[in-house]
Structure 1
Amino acid sequence: MKITKVLNNNAVIVLDKEQQEQIAIGPGVGFEKGKNDIVNSNKIEKLFVLKENEKLQQLLLQIPEEHFTLSKEIIMYAEKRLDTKLNDHLLLALTDHISFAIEREKQGIHVKNKLLQEIKILYSAEFDIGLWAIQHIKDQIHTEMPIDEAAFIALHIHTMKIKGGDLHETVRQTAIVRDMVETIKDHLQINLEEDDISYERLITHLRFALTRVNHYEVHSMDGEMLEMIKRKFKVSFQCALEVSKKLSRTHGVELPEEELGYITLHIERLRQH
Structure 2
Amino acid sequence: MSKSLYIKKILNNNALIVADESEQEESVIIGKGIGFGKKHGDQITTDSADKWFVLKDEKEQEHYKQLLHTVDEKIIDVMNDVIMHIQKRSGSDLDEHIHIALTDHIGFAIKRLEQGLDIKNPFLVETQTMYPMEYTIAEEVVEMINKHLSVHLPEGEIGFVALHIHSAMTKRTIHLINRNSALVAKLIALVSSSLDIEIDSKSINYLRLVRHLRHAIERIEQGEMVENQDKLAKVLKEEYPLCYNLAWKLIKVMQNDLQKPVPNAEAVYLTMHLQRLSKK
TM-score strictly above 0.5: yes
Conservation of the 8 A alpha-carbon contact between 1:199 and 1:270: yes
**Match for residue 241 of structure 2?**
234
Whether the 8 Å contact between 2:15 and 2:31 is mirrored in structure 1 is: yes
- For the pair 1:208 / 2:215, whether they are aligned, the reply is yes
Following TM superposition, by how much is the alpha carbon of 1:128 offset from its aligned partner in structure 2, in angstroms? 0.7
Unmatched 5+ residue regions in structure 2? none
Q: 1:181 aligns with which of 179, 188, 210?
A: 188
Measured at CA, do residues 15 and 240 of structure 1 come closer, stay the same or move farther in structure 2, by a change above 3 Å? closer
The answer on 1:29 being equivalent to 2:34 is yes
Q: CA deviation at 1:270?
A: 0.3
Structure 1, 53-62 or 193-202: larger mean CA deviation: 53-62
The code of the aligned residue for 1:78 comes to I
Question: TM-score by structure 1 length?
Answer: 0.90
SS class of match (2:265):
helix
| Cα displacement (A) at 1:63 | 1.4
Root mean square deviation of aligned Cα: 2.1
Which residue identity does 1:65 align to in structure 2? E
Match of 2:252 among 239, 245, 254: 245
Asked if 1 retains the 8 angstrom alpha-carbon contact of 2:208 and 2:273, the reply is yes
Residue identity matched to 1:38: D
| 2:11 equivalent in structure 1 | 7
1:142, distance to aligned residue in structure 2 (A): 1.1
Aligned position for 2:232 = 225
Amino acid at match of 1:256: P
Q: Is the Cα contact below 8 Å between 1:134 and 1:150 reproduced in 2?
A: yes
Q: Aligned equivalents of 1:265 and 1:221: distance in 2?
A: 15
1:217 is displaced (CA, Å) by 2.5
Change (3 A) 1:255 1:97: same
For 1:244 and 1:2, locate their aligned partners in 2 and report how far apart those are by CA, in whole Å.
56
What is the CA distance between 1:90 and its match in structure 2?
1.4
Q: Rate the CA distance shift 1:197–1:212 in 2: closer, same or farther, 3 A.
A: same
Stretch moving more, 230-239 or 62-71: 62-71
Paired position in structure 2 for 1:58: 66
Matches within 5 A, 1:105-144: 105-144=113-152
Query: Kindly tell me: are residues 164 and 195 of structure 1, through their superposed partners in 2, closer, same or farther at Cα, counting changes over 3 Å?
Result: farther
Q: 1:29/1:244 Cα in 2 relative to 1: closer, same or farther (>3 Å)?
A: closer
Partner of 2:22: 18
C-alpha displacement of 1:23: 2.2
Question: What are the Cα deviations for residues 148-177 of structure 1, in whole angstroms up to 9, with x where unaligned?
Answer: 11111111111111x442222121122111
Q: What CA distance in whole angstroms lies between the structure 1 residues aligned with 2:145 and 2:34?
A: 23
- 1:69 alignment partner, SS class: helix
Describe the SS at the equivalent of 1:47.
strand
Alignment pair present for 1:46 and 2:50? no
2:150 is aligned with what amino acid?
A: H
| Alpha carbons 1:244, 1:254 under 8 Å: kept | no
Number of residue pairs aligned between Structure 1 and Structure 2: 271
Are residue 270 (structure 1) and residue 274 (structure 2) matched? Answer: no
Shift of 1:267: 0.6
| Superimposed CA distance per residue, residues 76-129 of structure 1 (whole angstroms, 9 cap, x where no aligned partner) | 112222222212221122111111111111111111121111110111100011
**Equivalents in 2 of 1:31, 1:189: separation in Å?**
62
SS in 2 for 1:257: coil
Match of 2:80 in 1: 72
Query: For the structure 1 residues 254 and 47, does the alpha-carbon distance in structure 2 shift closer, same or farther, using more than 3 Å as the test?
Result: closer
